[in-house]
Amino acid sequence: MYKAMDYEIKGKDIILSEPELDLDETLDCGQAFRWKKVWSEYQCTYTGSFVNEGLTISQLSRGVFRLHDTSEEKFLDIWADYFDLRTDYSELKKKFSEDETLSKACKYAGGIRLLRQNAWECLISFIISQNNNIPRIKGIIDRLCEHYGGVFPEAEQLISETPDSLSFLRAGFRSKYICDAAFRTASGDTDLKSIAVLSIDEARTELKKIKGVGPKVAECVLLYGMHRTEAFPVDVWIKRVLEEYYPGGFPEYISENAGIAQQYLFHYIRTCRNE
DNA sequence: CGCCAGGACGCCC
DNA sequence: GGGCGTCATGGC
């Protein structure tokens, strides 16, 4: 599964070659909500961040990318992990493709990767996601970050908020859940770092102690924020996939990477069938 | 306008 | 334990 990375340093930029990555597919497929796409004169560029570290990255051509104004150290320490570059996705997809539906999904959008995101940001983001649509989720998270100076607020910054004081988010009934998550996290009652290494069922139980965290949100935090690739979030879209293509159950041989497979299916069912 | 959205909670049986 | 109404908000 380990894969060597192919990159070169070019001034203050890093040029990365990774055939199994596509920015549109990876950064805009419902796993992360804070990457902004900008079209400059010659290229399309994404700007986003991991915790306090910002990044501008553009796709120069198929499988070739420029990480702007960064360093080799930051690339190796932060972005290689964030984009999961040390995992061999060609190997993963080869396995997935033994299944007919997954084979189509991987062929349709082969540049999807599972981002290794921050657990706290995932927790709040997916609390916001419940019974909500992606454009509006992005709007709420934008307003949250904007209010805290353009960065995602830490739990400690949110403990003084109340559902009333968060009304500017227009998050509706979800605001009280954000407050509970912040209080529990800041007080140490919930410790995401230690939850991340629990057995998957213990981790689920711990996460669901937070108000507004049910099976789906817990699964998203595990998958996107803790890189527990066996976690398998089932929303209305994946429910349709399961009913239509997997009436006998999801393939057992994929279970340890079911969450990654789910990501290809989610994108496939939502976009391909509308074309 | 009505239906839906990367759901969870509270209550009922 | 499963079924169902409710919860804000706004995208489409």
Cβ contacts of A69-76, under 8 Å, gap ≥ 24:
A69/A12, A69/A13, A70/A12, A70/A13, A70/A14, A71/A12, A72/A9, A72/A14, A75/A7, A75/A14, A75/A16
pLDDT band at A43 (very low <50, low <70, confident <90, very high): confident
CA of residue A167 to C1' of nucleotide C4, angstroms: 29
Residues within a 7 A CB radius of strand B: A 29-31, 126, 129-134, 136-137, 173, 208, 211-218, 220, 233-238, 262-263, 266, 270
C strand bases under 7 Å from protein CB: 7-12
Residue count (chain A) = 275
Domains defined for chain A, CATH in brackets:
6-87 (3.30.310.260), 119-226 (1.10.340.30)
pLDDT-derived band at A273 (thresholds 50, 70, 90) equals low
pLDDT per residue as tens digits for the range A109-166: 999 999 999 999 999 999 999 999 999 999 999 999 999 999 999 999 999 999 999 9
**pLDDT mean over A191-210:** 98
Nearest to A75 by CA among A128, A142, A18, A146: A18
Q: What is the spatial distance between Cα A195 and Cα A185, in angstroms, rounded to a whole number?
A: 12
pLDDT reading at A40 higher than 90: no
For residue A127, what pLDDT is reported?
Answer: 98
Confidence of residue A227 (pLDDT cuts 50, 70, 90): very high
Q: Which of chain B's bases lie under 7 Å from a protein CB?
A: 4-9
Average pLDDT over residues A166-172: 98
Strand nucleotide closest to residue A234 (CA to C1'): B6
Alpha carbon distance A204, A185 (integer Å): 16
pLDDT (mean) for A194-210? 98
Q: At residue A52, does pLDDT exceed 80?
A: yes
CA–C1' gap, A179 and C5, in angstroms: 25
CA/C1' separation A143–B6 (Å) = 20
- Which tens digit of pLDDT belongs to each residue from A69-104? 999 999 999 999 999 999 999 999 999 999 999 999
> A208: which 2 tokens?
């669901």
Distance A84 CA to B3 C1' (A): 38
Residue A274 predicted with pLDDT over 70: no
- Quote the pLDDT of residue A236: 87
Q: How far is the CA of A207 from the C1' of C1 (A)?
A: 22
Residue A272 has pLDDT above 70, yes or no: yes
